[in-house]
Structure 1
Amino acid sequence: MTASDKEQPLVQHLLELRTRLLRTFFCLLIIFVCLFPFATQIYAIISAPLQAVLPQGTSMIATDVISPFLTPLKLTFYVALFLSVPYMLYQIWAFIAPGLYIHEKQLAAPLLISSVLLFFTGMAFAYFLVLPMLFNFTMGIELEGVSAMTDITKYLDLVLHMLLAFGFAFEIPVATVLMIHSGIVSADSLASKRRYIVVGCFVVGMLLTPPDIFSQTLLAIPMWMLFEAGLFFGRLVQKRSEERARKET
């Protein structure tokens, strides 16, 4: 076998990787172009939790000349990115699937689907529950001589930060199952460290959310519950792996 024959599979893999990256890019571009005419309406939807609690006679402001154009544009890009995540994960799956064993495929497919559903569930949890509670709390604090008028760019940065924080935090069950399946830790070892993990959840909630007890708690408690769910399914995966190992020996 010549050196060129050995290099051929690597070249084929690189070409396939390039093809899948291009498909992902064009998917993102197509979604963005389709959403661009509705950029203003999308921003109106995102700003609804704050608009609902703004004091009468006040509104959001733009402190930069081009903010009314760039801010909805930035939001539209992120929305397009979020919507293209399922297709991105499909491309990743299609690229790595041929190299997986059957039992690995049986685990990877549910994990990929679960990761997408959990990510969007976390974002929905933040948008429909956490943000309204947060803005109700902050808008209820009145300072004499101070009018509540939020800059649209800073508001978008805060909302995106919150949505991403909750979206990634809801991936805890997937991360827990992967760690147990890969043998990094055992289910019993994680269970024995539960008290430290609970404290860690509240520390992460403090770091990823604004400095108020409501949003911190609303992130920490779901993280703890999701860890318990990941631990439960991780035990099932570990049990199946041990049974398969016994059968193979």
Structure 2
Amino acid sequence: MPLTEHLRELRYRILLSLGAFLLASAVSFYFARSVFEVLKRPVTESYPEVELITLSPTEPLFILIKISLAVGFILAFPFILYQVWRFVEPALYSHEKKAFLPLALSSILLFLLGAAFAYFLVLPLALKFLLGLGFTQLSATPYLSVDTYVSFVLKMVIAFGIAFQMPVVLFVLQKAGLVSHEQLVRFRKYFIVLAFLIGAVIAPDVSTQVLMAVPLILLYEISIWLGKRAAKERKKPVVRNLT
């Protein structure tokens, strides 16, 4: 296929993805208030004394827009992933096509698991520790800007969703030969330290550090195991059939 046709196809897929994202965001705006009530739950349940306040007349509108964009992206993500598939499909070999769907489903599932882990476990513990520190140690009245709080929750949820993509990303890198199984094994001790440092940045208390570090370490171990399988698969002869 000529380069101009590739670029035309890429533009078409990008426009479809952008349209799906904007449509999903517009629909999400109508139930953004309900989503906001869900986002409030971690702080209201872990620290009922906290009051959420707005600092400008336009803040509520921008908060609802921010929520609708985040929800819209999540809703449109499977469709966007499908458009990526349609664009790269002609260049893939038959065995690569068979691997795409399991990887895509695994990616979506792991993102949801990471987001749920952050929402149900990490956020309540982190908020309880951080807000409690300000209230007990500094005698500060617990007021929070709604925009600051919503941004914090969305960043945490999305960050953990992305972090839980580790097995998929490392598996693809190992399958492509860009990272080896042996390199991951050698880096293991450094990653364990890194996982605990990430936990310390979010909430310095030991229990929260362990709670956040252990799942990341388990995901890394899964990545090593998948890499071992990928190394075995690379040794097998592959029939290069473009059907």
Answer yes or no: same fold by TM over 0.5.
yes
Shift in alpha-carbon separation, 1:157–1:216, aligned structure 2, 3 A: farther
Indicate the SS of the match to 1:60. Answer: strand
Q: Distance in 1 between matches of 2:22 and 2:179?
A: 40
After TM superposition, list the pairs within 5 Å mapping 1:50-199 onto structure 2. Answer: 50-56=43-49, 58-141=50-133, 142-143=135-136, 145-199=139-193
Match of 1:16 in 2: 9
Deviations 1:58-93 (A, max 9, x none): 521111221122112211111111221111111101
Q: Distance in 1 between matches of 2:115 and 2:48?
A: 26
Match of 1:48 in 2: 41
In percent, how many aligned pairs have the same letter? 34
Match of 1:230 in 2: 223
Q: Distance in 1 between matches of 2:38 and 2:100?
A: 34
After TM superposition, list the pairs within 5 Å mapping 1:1-12 onto structure 2. Answer: 9-12=2-5
Shift in alpha-carbon separation, 1:42–1:164, aligned structure 2, 3 A: same
Q: CA deviation at 1:211?
A: 5.0
The answer as to whether partners of 1:181 and 1:237 remain within 8 angstroms in 2 is yes
Q: Distance in 2 between matches of 1:53 and 1:193?
A: 36
Note the aligned Cα RMSD (angstroms). Answer: 2.2
The answer as to whether partners of 1:181 and 1:238 remain within 8 angstroms in 2 is yes
Q: TM-score, normalised by structure 1?
A: 0.86
Q: CA deviation at 1:199?
A: 1.6
2:22 maps to which of 8, 25, 29 = 29
Deviations 1:167-219 (A, max 9, x none): 11101101221221111232133213321221222334445x35555554433
* 5+ residue gaps, structure 1: 1-7
The answer as to whether partners of 1:53 and 1:135 remain within 8 angstroms in 2 is yes
Letter in 1 for 2:39: I
Shift in alpha-carbon separation, 1:149–1:224, aligned structure 2, 3 A: same
The answer as to whether partners of 2:26 and 2:68 remain within 8 angstroms in 1 is no
Indicate the SS of the match to 2:173. Answer: helix
The answer as to whether partners of 1:42 and 1:72 remain within 8 angstroms in 2 is no
Indicate the SS of the match to 2:218. Answer: helix
The answer as to whether partners of 2:130 and 2:203 remain within 8 angstroms in 1 is no
Q: Distance in 1 between matches of 2:8 and 2:200?
A: 44
Kindly name which structure, 1 or 2, has the bigger radius of gyration based on alpha carbons: 1
Larger RCO: Structure 1 or Structure 2 (Cα < 8 Å, ≥ 6 residues apart)? 2
Shift in alpha-carbon separation, 1:64–1:211, aligned structure 2, 3 A: farther
* 5+ residue gaps, structure 2: none
Q: Distance in 2 between matches of 1:41 and 1:112?
A: 29
The answer as to whether partners of 1:120 and 1:167 remain within 8 angstroms in 2 is yes
Match of 1:3 in 2: none
